[in-house]
Structures are given as structure tokens and as C-alpha cells.
Amino acid sequence: MNPLVDPQAGAAVKAADRAHVFHSWSAQGLIDPLAVAGAEGAYFWDYDGNRYLDFTSGLVFTNIGYQHPTVVAAIQEQAGRLTTFAPAFAIDVRSEAARLIAERTPGDLDKIFFTNGGAEAVENAIRMARLHTGRPKVLSAYRSYHGGTSTAINLTGDPRRWASDNGSAGVVHFWAPFLY
């Protein structure tokens, strides 16, 4: 790990962020985002050289750490072959990823549906469940997060959703156990 110490660069990154980035789930005038210079493993650092242990795994998806050499090499190799392709086509790596996932699913669950992100996965899961069961209700705990798309944000139990909640039919919130 070689943290880049350059406070001027950090100030420029922060200024550009404030000028052009709209941060989700935030009162824009009240936030002061930290300018991140880099990350490796479980740590990230700022432009002043301060190192932080990231207890959030980035946004809960970097569980093996930042810049893991195997992941970086796999991304570079695939980017050199084919970066992306529409879902209507058969692609070797997508089929292989689906096979590997299906090997770990219970019973005869052997078809994998890939989405662009978590909120879209929630939206599709709700549609599939409603179509399969014929039941419209979906239960969701308060203090939960499911995404920022239409149904996902209404399913989310976080009060920050209220300004965007249009009351999706069938979404019912409940208080889950809170042991703390």
C-alpha cells in the first residue's frame, strides 16, 4: 500500500465532487464527503495520508477487500475480450457464472437471472414472487434498505424514503426484533 499524500489533489477532488455529484440519501448541503485517494484490502486512505479500516466493505460488496489481485486480473482479462453484451445473447462467461451459482442453489433451482444492481434484483424478485404466488402483499421490516427504484424504495423501511414513497400497493412494513 502506497498512500498518495497530496492535500491539493484531495481538495480538488472534493471541490469537483461538490460541484457535480449529487449524493444519494443525503441532505446535500449538510454532507462533507471524504476524498478517497485509494484502497487496498480492508483499508482505504485519503489524500492527507490517513488510513482507515473500512468496516462497511465499501458498500457491502467488497467482502474480499479492495483491489484483490485475482479480481483485478480477472476484470482486466475479461475487459480485453468483451466488456459487456446485451442479455438476449449467449455469452460464455455469463453462462459459466450462472452454472457456478446454480451449483450452490438448493433443489432444482438452476436458472439464474442477472440484473444490473440490487434494487433491480429486488424489483424483479417481487414481480416473480407475485406472479408465482398470485399474492400481492410483500412484507418488509422497518430499518431495512432495498434500493432506490420505485417498488424497492417503497419497500425500504428507512424513513429517508418518505419523500419518494408513493405507497406501492401491497407493501406492508413491520417492526422486526431489535435486540440492541
Question: Per residue in 77-100, pLDDT tens?
Answer: 999 999 989 989 999 999 999 999
Domain assignment present for residue 58? The answer is yes
Q: Are residues 69 and 3 in the same domain?
A: yes
Q: Are residues 63 and 3 in the same domain?
A: yes
What integer pLDDT is reported at residue 176 of this predicted model? Answer: 87
Q: Give the Cα-Cα-Cα angle 95, 96, 102 (nearest 5 degrees).
A: 90
- DSSP assignment, residue 26? S
Amino acid (one-letter) located at 29: G
What integer pLDDT is reported at residue 2 of this predicted model? Answer: 52
Full-model pTM: 0.72
Residue-number span of the structural domain to which 57 is assigned: 1-83
Residue at grid coordinates 440519501? 25
Domain assignment present for residue 27? The answer is yes
The number of distinct structural domains making up the chain is 2
Q: To the nearest whole number, what is the mean pLDDT of the chain?
A: 90
Q: Collect the ranges in the chain with pLDDT lower than 50.
A: none
State which H helix or E strand residue 53 sits in. strand 51-53
Report pLDDT digits (tens) over 139-161: 999 888 888 888 888 888 888 77
Domain assignment present for residue 78? The answer is yes
CB atoms < 10 A from the CB of 29, how many?
Answer: 6
Domain assignment present for residue 113? The answer is no
User: Torsion over CA of 84, 90, 93 and 99, rounded to 10 degrees?
Assistant: 140
Q: Are residues 17 and 77 in the same domain?
A: yes
